[in-house]
């Protein structure tokens, strides 16, 4: 949902900051790695039950996630390696924060509730994997109720109070499950359509030859 107009406005807002940071000598990879550090700190605070501190760190981690792209564009250093690094770090960050959630639940709640963050992590990874695989096949797969930005926002809402923490996590699981199956269905439908015909090299050569003959006959 936030990948559309929100993402464009956020990129426009972050662009001047990206230029300043770029001139200061900071690289996008450094910011990406710093975001992972803050994500790990967020996980530690969640595990310890320090929810308000976790919210502050989560906001900082999210800001760095936006800034690394802004710096890469400002310094004209966007690359496949940087994109790969950013994507992998996002998955590490998600796993770390949900690990913090699992630790907190195991320490303060009995029974099988600790499996809730495992279910969340499964849907998180499947949503990201489906997009990655679909795009490698030339099929666009953005969109859905709960992409990464929405997931971070909803986790922040859950951290506002220990009273609503678990209910909001269940809501998140329901929404991410819907997103996962919705994305699968859209890609499945798109993959069923026939691929556009690709002209053979001999056909291209024959067309070019025909045009040359026509041009020569006009002269």
Instruction: Please state, for a pLDDT cut of 70, what percent of the chain lies above it.
Output: 83
pLDDT at 214: 57
> Token pair of 46, please?
């969640």
What does the pLDDT average to over 182-202?
A: 74
pLDDT at 16: 76
User: Which residue among the candidates 29, 86, 90, 94 is catalytic per the annotation?
Assistant: 90
CB 12, CB 73: distance < 8 Å: no
Q: Is residue 138 scored above 80 in pLDDT?
A: yes
User: Interhelix angle for 148-158 vs 162-192, to 10°?
Assistant: 160
What does the pLDDT average to over 55-60?
A: 96
Higher-confidence residue of 210 and 216: namely 210
CB 124, CB 150: distance < 8 Å: no
At 157-180, the pLDDT tens digits run: 999 999 999 999 999 999 999 999
Q: How far apart are CA 186 and CA 192, in angstroms?
A: 10
> Token pair of 165, please?
């923490």
pLDDT at 202: 53
CB 67, CB 13: distance < 8 Å: no
The CATH number linked to 53 is 1.20.120.1760
pLDDT at 173: 96
Q: How far apart are CA 56 and CA 45, in angstroms?
A: 10
At 67-94, the pLDDT tens digits run: 887 787 877 777 888 889 999 999 999 9
Q: What range defines the domain where residue 165 resides?
A: 5-218
**CA dihedral in degrees (118, 121, 127, 129; nearest 10)?**
-100
pLDDT at 212: 63
90 is an active site residue: yes
Higher-confidence residue of 173 and 142: namely 173
Give me the number of domains the chain comprises.
1
Indicate the average pLDDT of the chain. Answer: 84
Higher-confidence residue of 217 and 27: namely 27
Sign of the torsion angle spanned by Cα atoms 154, 155, 156, 159: positive
> Token pair of 211, please?
């045009």
Long-range Cβ pairs for the range 125-133 (8 Å, 24+)? 125/91, 125/94, 126/180, 127/176, 127/179, 127/180, 127/183, 128/87, 128/90, 128/91, 130/180, 130/183, 130/184, 130/187, 131/183, 132/87
pLDDT at 5: 55
Q: How far apart are the first and last CA of the chain?
A: 58
> If pLDDT is split at 50, 70 and 90, which confidence band does 154 have?
very high
Q: Name the nearest CA neighbour of 96 among 112, 117, 111.
A: 117
pLDDT at 7: 62
């Amino acid at each position: 949902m936030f990948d559309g107009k929100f993402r464009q406005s956020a990129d426009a807002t972050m662009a001047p900051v990206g230029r300043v940071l770029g001139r200061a000598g900071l690289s996008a990879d450094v910011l990406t790695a710093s975001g992972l550090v803050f994500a790990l700190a967020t996980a530690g605070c969640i595990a310890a039950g320090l929810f308000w501190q976790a919210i502050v760190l989560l906001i900082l981690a999210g800001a760095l996630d936006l800034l690394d792209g802004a710096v890469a564009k400002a310094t004209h250093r966007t690359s496949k390696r940087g994109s790969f690094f950013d994507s992998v770090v996002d998955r590490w960050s998600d796993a770390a924060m949900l690990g913090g959630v699992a630790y907190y639940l195991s320490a303060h709640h009995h029974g099988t509730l600790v499996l809730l963050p495992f279910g969340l992590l499964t849907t998180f990874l499947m949503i990201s994997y489906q997009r990655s695989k679909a795009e490698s096949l030339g099929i666009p797969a953005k969109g859905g109720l709960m992409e990464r930005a929405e997931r971070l926002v909803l986790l922040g809402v859950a951290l506002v109070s220990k009273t609503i923490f678990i209910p909001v996590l269940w809501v998140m699981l329901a929404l991410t499950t819907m997103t996962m199956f919705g994305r699968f269905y859209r890609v499945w439908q798109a993959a069923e359509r026939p691929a556009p015909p690709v002209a053979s090299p001999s056909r291209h050569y024959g067309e070019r030859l025909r045009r040359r003959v026509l041009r020569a006959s006009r002269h």
